[in-house]
Structure 1
Amino acid sequence: MSERKNEPEFRRVRSAPTPPGSRGGTPPARDPLPLPDPTVRRKRWALLFAGSMSVVVLLASGTAWAITGWMSGQLNRFDVFGGLVDRPDAGPKGALDFLVIGSDSREGVSPEDQSGLGVGHIGGERSDTMMLVHLNNDRDEITVVGIPRDSWVDIPGHGENKINAAYAFGGPQLTVQTVETLTRVRIDHYVEVDFTGFVDVVDALDGIEVCLPEPIDDPKAQLDMDAGTHQVDGAEALAFARTRKTAGGDLDRIDRQQQVLSALLDKALGSDTLSDPRRLSAFLDHALGSVTVDEGLDTRTINQLANRLSDIGLDDVSFTQVPLDDTAYWTPRGDVAVTWNRRAADRLFAQIAADKPITDPEQAAGRGETADPGDAPGDLRPGDIRVQIFNGTGTPGQGNRARAEFTGAGFQVPAAAQDWSSADVPTTLVRHAPQRKRAAELVADAVPDARLQEDSTLGAEVQVVVGFTYTGLDAPQGAAAAEPTPEPSAGERSRVRTSTARDNVCGD
């Protein structure tokens, strides 16, 4: 593009230390990695794999200095922050913010592999996925904010465009500058993963499990999936994460990407793949060449983060999206984009910049932190109620079919259906916290023969455990609840909704 003539050349610099125990650059024939106890090792390496599309690729990256140093040397590095001006102030001491990019670069991918992966043959590079990842000061929580690639924003020096064009115009530097200008959050580190790196990570874990509430047929991405739970390999996971052939387009895609990240983390935490030294060494040597980071993310920094984040689990990783104002904005050049709800987005990013937790208003209400306006008499609607579906029958796909019906009736069902702890639930259960009884009653009214079950350990989310008596939904009772809301209102889109990695996995 002509706009790139005055931009600095985007070059990745590959450092090249050898694996531990090898002086000539060739991995030794026997046991190249001195590893500690497998249980400890799995926990600390888990986030490396789970974060191939997230900063977690670097956070639990080693248990011994030699391993971490070798891994660090396999990464490509780029001077991301050199020359940036008018940057936001640094956040509270100890907190860190990463910009994570999934690049759609086809560089180094043969035409045959491009066809096999269903990624097409488009030249150039764009940011196919964009996430802001926040690590709190205490290093016990990670928040991932999905930024829609079709966000219509002002790109410094280039005017209004979709945010993914920033990468095409000026690589990582302009992308960081654009995000910092929009969010006023100072980016501390940069992580970029391309197609092949993502596929390698999934395949290294022998695939992951994903869930679909409705079928997807995308011939271009070579993806044809029925509703239900699927075991997918790296190529299928890439297609699942990239397709836009659903009603919500790019916004649904962000949800699926967050599900994939959660599945990767879940699989890595419980996988024996990480205990095989030879397999681990070969994988790191191959896969990490697809990861680019800023020059400041050196061996010492990675090692410190690894030690501090070794106990992070599924409940400690939260996901959300930028609050939106218009999901079908017609741009001046004649294509469709999305626009942010500036007031809600500014509030979200101000909390991140101040290292404050991002909380769903209903989740906060469930813990008694604030009054819950949704529980006001006569003012409760399906769109005010967040539901988690569990399959208690063992029938494949039953949970996701129920999820689709609840979503169609206007309830909030952000996470994929999960399997219940048993597969012999006779009657559908509607489980709720004491302070969410009215919400649970509205849900139960819509499910014939459902039984209420109070649980003081629950928060604002109402749980539906589908039993053998489940036959579908009736229209919610009461005038205030009768109208389904298939298309979110501007107010709904502007709310900050969160889910944990545990919420997003298909089941245990």
Structure 2
Amino acid sequence: MPVGSATNGTMPVMDSKDDTQYEPAEGAPHPASLSLFEDRSGTEEADGSGSSGDADEAAEAAKGAGRRKRRTRRVLIWSLVALLLVAGGCAGAVYWTADHYASSVDRIPDAFPTVPESAQPKPVPHSGMTFLLVGLDARSDVATTGTDAKAPAWKVGAARSDTMMLLHISADRKSASVVSIARDTWVDIPGHGKAKINAAYSWGGPALMIETVQNLTNIRIDHIAVIDWNGFRSLTDAVGGVDITIPKTIEARGDARQWDAGAHHMDGQEALLYVRERHGLPNGDLDRTKRQQNFLRALMKQTLSSGTLSSPGRLGGLLQNVGDVVSVDSKLSNTDLYDLGWSLRGLRADDVRFMNAPFGGFDTISGQSVVLMDKAAATPLWEAMRNDRMDQYFAEHRTTSDTLGENVR
């Protein structure tokens, strides 16, 4: 941590007994503040003279733009993705309120499999960090009651997971990758045989979900985050809405609404309809997962916009809503969130790439409509993620239909 140290999830504090650790040497510049409202980029003139003579207006404007750019870089990175990383990034930026906001994120106990280590994928040293992101529609009653009350993240048989994504953060923290696994993907679920992958969460909660995904991918899961799609309504409103473009009009079908082609500035309610849509889309769940990815990408861009960063009200609303949207495993402490956020301070929205797990076709098994994964195509993907070579993978698979492009239905 750049400001003191923290243990047991407490706030980092300055150690007044060790002045040399925190005070700059005489004549050295002061360390950059983490404040949202203070620019520590320096006051000297661009030529280094420090004189106060008449300055060229263009040079002053350029310098001001540079200061704003540097301040934006240092303040708030993108969201978990968007969201989990918002929790960390904001904690790093606003350290005096970090403990409050990090503590508002619920922890999930007993989230990991209890099977022997020998039965789990071996961790690969220096290979980055991999999260399993699980999206639910049933965690919150915000959409129906307008309250912030939350139900438990998992209750036996209560609900199947709606969304599954693997988030891999590179070891150098310069890039991140998100791979969605369709909820109807036909897989082996330990102790239950073949079934749709979302049944794992219903039958055994986070631990069985992690074990199932680990067996499918041979990737060791470092952490899990459970996301409440209902909560994204208030989160979207907190950043002032998101801009999403519909490339082609999709006509209404059944309960599905019509989506007109063109640019849409969506508030929280419309964004929630957008990520939940399935029946009106040509490829059902496959198109819906791309919509969810597209929404997260738009949310990241809006979070990093000057309008969000420069508005204390918007930023405060964003932080206050984090705890209503995401829960993480109990191994991820407040200090871990601080450290993660700080390590990601250089990450940009364009550094995060999205794709679906390789699609192998639709099928009907035991009367159920299922999604088949293309195992041959998935093998190099999982290997790249396991060994932290996702940059190379995306460079080699730029044209695959599984990757998220700019035109999302």
Distance 1:184 1:49 in 2: 24
Partner of 1:484: none
1:14-72: CA deviations, max 9, x gaps?
Answer: x9999xxxxxxxxxxxxxx96354756644424136613xx434442321433322221
Question: For the residues of structure 2 that align with 1:335 and 1:365, how far apart are their CA atoms?
Answer: 31
Q: So what's the TM-score if we normalise by structure 1? A: 0.60
In 2, the alpha carbon distance for the partners of 1:359 and 1:221 equals: 42
Contact 1:210 1:505 in 2 (8 A): no
Is residue 2:107 matched to residue 1:77? yes
Write the mapping of 1:30-179 to structure 2, written as runs, cut at 5 A: 35-37=36-38, 39=68, 42-43=72-73, 44-48=75-79, 51-52=82-83, 55-62=84-91, 63-79=93-109, 80-81=111-112, 83-85=114-116, 86-93=119-126, 95-105=128-138, 107-109=140-142, 111=144, 124-179=158-213
Instruction: Give the Cα separation in 2 of the matches to 1:97 and 1:234.
Output: 28
In structure 2, the residue matched to 1:399 is none
2:375 is matched by which residue type in structure 1?
R
Q: Residue 201 of structure 2 aligns to a residue in which SS? A: helix
Aligned match of 1:273? 308
Displacement, 1:195? 2.6
The answer as to whether partners of 1:192 and 1:293 remain within 8 angstroms in 2 is yes
Residue matched to 1:431: none
The amino acid of 1:270's aligned partner reads S
Task: Please give the secondary structure, in 2, of the residue aligned with 1:238.
Answer: helix
Matches within 5 A, 1:280-429: 280-326=315-361, 328-332=362-366, 334-359=367-392, 363-364=395-396, 386=399
TM-score under structure 2 length normalisation:
0.73
* Aligned position for 1:191: 225
The one-letter code sitting in structure 1 at the alignment partner of 2:76 is: W
Aligned to 1:200: 234
C-alpha distance in 2 between matches for 1:49 and 1:276: 20
State the alpha-carbon separation in 2 of the partners of residues 247 and 324 from structure 1.
Answer: 15
Give the percent of matched residue pairs that are identical in Structure 1 and Structure 2.
34
> Residue 90 of structure 2: SS of its match in structure 1?
coil
Query: Does the 8 Å CA contact 1:102/1:130 hold for their aligned counterparts?
Result: yes
CA contact (8 A) 2:239 2:314 kept: no
Measured in 2, the distance between the counterparts of 1:196 and 1:72 equals 20
User: Deviation of residue 269 (structure 1)?
Assistant: 1.4
Contact 1:140 1:309 in 2 (8 A): yes
Q: 1:111 offset after TM fit, Å? A: 4.1
Matched, 1:259 2:294: yes
How far apart are 1:179 and its partner, in Å? Answer: 0.6
Cα offset for 1:94? Answer: 5.4
1:434 corresponds to: none
Corresponding residue for residue 210 of structure 1: 244
Instruction: Give the Cα separation in 2 of the matches to 1:197 and 1:110.
Output: 8
Count of residue correspondences? 336
What is the aligned-residue RMSD (CA, Å)?
Answer: 3.1
Alignment partner of 1:230 is 2:258 = no
Contact 1:47 1:58 in 2 (8 A): no
Return the alpha-carbon distance in structure 1 between the equivalents of residues 378 and 397 of structure 2. 21
Query: In structure 2, what is the Cα distance between the partners aligned to 1:505 and 1:35?
Result: 35
Q: Which moved more, 1:264-273 or 1:146-155?
A: 264-273
Q: Distance in 2 between matches of 1:331 and 1:71?
A: 45
Change (3 A) 1:365 1:243: closer
Aligned to 1:409: none
Report Cα offsets for 1:263-299 as digits up to 9, x if no partner.
1111111142233335433442344233110112112
Q: 1:249 aligns with which of 284, 288, 297?
A: 284
Range 212-221 or range 253-262, more displaced: 212-221
Per the alignment, do residues 353 and 145 of structure 1 end up closer, same or farther by CA in structure 2, a change over 3 Å counting? same
Aligned to 2:54: none
Greater relative CO (CA pairs within 8 A, separation 6+): 2
Aligned counterpart, 1:396? none
Superposed displacement of residue 237, structure 1: 1.0
Cα gap change, 1:283 to 1:211, in 2 (>3 Å): closer
How far 1:162 moved relative to its partner?
Answer: 1.0
User: What amino acid is aligned across from residue 194 of structure 1 in structure 2?
Assistant: D
**Residue type at the aligned position of 1:65:** Y
Query: 2:86 touches 2:341 (CA, 8 Å); kept in 1?
Result: no
Whole-Å Cα distance in 2 between the matches of residues 107 and 142 of structure 1?
A: 28
Offset at residue 231 of structure 1 (A): 1.1
**Kindly tell me: are residues 201 and 241 of structure 1, through their superposed partners in 2, closer, same or farther at Cα, counting changes over 3 Å?**
same
Distance in 2 between residues matched to 1:183 and 1:270, nearest whole Å: 35
For 2:403 and 2:143, how far apart are their aligned partners in 1? 39
Query: Partner letter of residue 92 of structure 1?
Result: P
Letter in 1 for 2:228: D
